[in-house]
Amino acid sequence: MKTDTIAAVATAMSNSSIGIIRISGDESIAISDIIYRNKSNERVLKNYKSNTIHYGFVYDGDDIVDEVMVSVLKKPNSFTTEDTVEINCHGGILVINRILDIIIKNGARLAEPGEFTKRAFLNGRIDLSEAEAVMDIISSKNESALKNSVKQLRGSVHRKVSELRKAIIYEIAFIESALDDPEHISLEGYPDKLYKKVNELSGEIENLLATSENGRIIAEGIKTVIVGKPNAGKSSLLNLLVGEEKAIVTDIAGTTRDVLEEDIKINGISLHIIDTAGIRSTEDIIEKIGVERAVSYLQDADLVIYVVDSSVPLDKNDFDIMKMIKDKKSIVLFNKTDLNSEISLDELEKFLNNNVIIIKTSTKENTGIEDLEKAVHKLFFSGKIDLDSEIMITNLRHKESLEEALDGLKLVKESLKADMPEDFYSIDLMNSYLSLGKIIGEEISDDLMNEIFSRFCMGK
């Protein structure tokens, strides 16, 4: 199939030591041959073997534009499976754009976002889950997310989904064959056998879905909100965790009026930390807005860190906060332990959920932070996430397709219990089969495919 030739910058558009312009399509080598000459001033790129790299110069007419290294990748031995040329030039924005302009002037067009990966998918080089893993690798926020994305790129999701689809299509084919040829293929005793198989497949999908929440946390990080009354030490805690003075700290209650957001890593997992305004009853209009935002962020958080000023007695504001965190994963920091305490731990525990972890801290003396890190790991990962597991669902689209597939299998079980005709089983099995196909791109609309690849980088 003849395809037009596309080109784009594959590296960041900023001054750097090197820049790469990628060209892919039927005319990529011919176009490159027009603008590239080797050190002997020869246009011989088309004569080079595949998977080789060569030194030379890019020309615009008779003018030398830059000294370059050019990689030649002939089909099907390239990422897109098309003829591909990559020009490695000096990394100045001006020279990169100049070379890209020359390539387009000589017959290529500017690639759309994600078009190289889209071509790899359409040409059968990778499936859709592997294509999405490419973008996940680029946007990985921590080592665990990167490791999981690499596994998906290497086909972990593809293999499992294909295995499930193969098992489902076998049952569909058997039912259809038996209905077409009842004289030679008997369905006697088959409903019991099918129920057992569907139960097994449902369990496998449920196991995959069970990883999705942890997968989201690994991919996106733990949404963490620091709450407490004004002047409890929230901003000091943020500064300690980040390792620099990000928040203004004073003895004046209500210094923080708006939210501050920072990303940190604990044991390879990202925490997206939000320091909020102190929660208290106030008539100050600006502070009241800050308090409302704090409550909103608390409700949406994966983890709440509630900082309690142990040097002052508990009051209505504390009790309001404790009600709000009742059903949340929470860590309570019994802070300012360097001062005389006006609250006992026993008193505090009376008002808290039994599952809440309480840690003594002093942000002034930098104590208790190591215990906080251990508590985060315990709450989210102890016995719950196997970071070395083969498959972890991190993509919302994959999760939704798995849920659809599971719903189809549940309908099959209901039909079996109700002793419905066999063609009912076949219909719902096929719906599950098609839902799983969406994950790997076997069953996907052009609009959805275009939407997925539009999120990619221009040169990827």
- Chain region(s) in the chain for CATH 1.20.120.430: 131-211+392-454
Q: For 84, list phi and psi in degrees, rounded to 5.
A: -135, 140
| Candidates 3.40.50.300, 3.40.50.1110, 3.90.1330.10, 3.10.20.30; CATH matching 223-380 | 3.40.50.300
Q: Which stretches within 72-114 are classed as H helix?
A: 93-105
For residue 131, which of 145, 119, 116, 121 has the smallest C-alpha distance? Answer: 121
Report helix, strand or coil for 160.
helix
Which CA distances in Å does 114 have to 3, 76, 122? Answer: 16, 19, 12
| Residue 99, amino acid | I
User: In sequence order, what DSSP letters do the residues of 388-406 get, joined into one string?
Assistant: T-S-----HHHHHHHHHHH
What are the tokens at 171?
A: 């049952």
Q: For 282, list phi and psi in degrees, rounded to 5.
A: -150, 150
CB distance 204 to 164 below 8 Å: yes
CB distance 272 to 222 below 8 Å: yes
Query: What is the spatial distance between Cα 93 and Cα 293, in angstroms, rounded to a whole number?
Result: 41
6-111 belongs to CATH 1.10.30.50: no
Query: What is the spatial distance between Cα 175 and Cα 207, in angstroms, rounded to a whole number?
Result: 27
Q: For 99, list phi and psi in degrees, rounded to 5.
A: -65, -40
Angle at 32 between CA 131 and CA 449, to 5 degrees: 20
Query: What is the spatial distance between Cα 326 and Cα 349, in angstroms, rounded to a whole number?
Result: 12
What are the tokens at 217?
A: 């946390």
Contacts with 139 (C-beta within 8 Å, 6 or more apart), sequence order? none
User: In sequence order, what DSSP letters do the residues of 18-66 get, joined into one string?
Assistant: EEEEEEESTTHHHHHHHHEEETTS---GGGSPSSEEEEEEEEETTEEEE
- Chain region(s) in the chain for CATH 3.40.50.300: 223-380
CB distance 89 to 60 below 8 Å: no
Query: What is the spatial distance between Cα 376 and Cα 289, in angstroms, rounded to a whole number?
Result: 29
Contacts with 427 (C-beta within 8 Å, 6 or more apart), sequence order? none
pTM for the whole structure:
0.74
- Chain region(s) in the chain for CATH 3.30.1360.120: 6-111
Q: What is the pLDDT of residue 250?
A: 43
| Candidates 1.10.420.10, 3.40.1110.10, 1.20.200.10, 1.20.120.430; CATH matching 131-211+392-454 | 1.20.120.430
Characterize 104-123 residue by residue with b for buried, 16 or more Cβ atoms within 10 angstroms of its Cβ, and e for exposed: bebbbeebebbbbbbbbbbb
pLDDT in tens, the chain (460 residues): 457 999 999 998 888 899 999 999 999 999 999 999 999 999 888 899 999 999 999 999 999 999 999 999 999 999 999 999 999 999 999 999 999 999 999 999 999 999 999 999 999 999 999 999 988 888 777 777 788 888 888 889 999 999 999 999 999 999 999 888 888 888 888 999 999 999 999 999 999 998 887 788 778 788 888 888 888 888 888 888 877 555 444 444 444 445 678 888 876 678 888 887 777 666 667 767 777 787 888 888 889 999 988 888 888 888 888 888 888 889 999 988 888 888 888 888 888 877 788 999 888 888 888 888 888 888 876 544 555 566 889 899 999 999 999 999 999 999 999 999 888 899 999 999 999 999 999 888 888 888 888 888 777 8
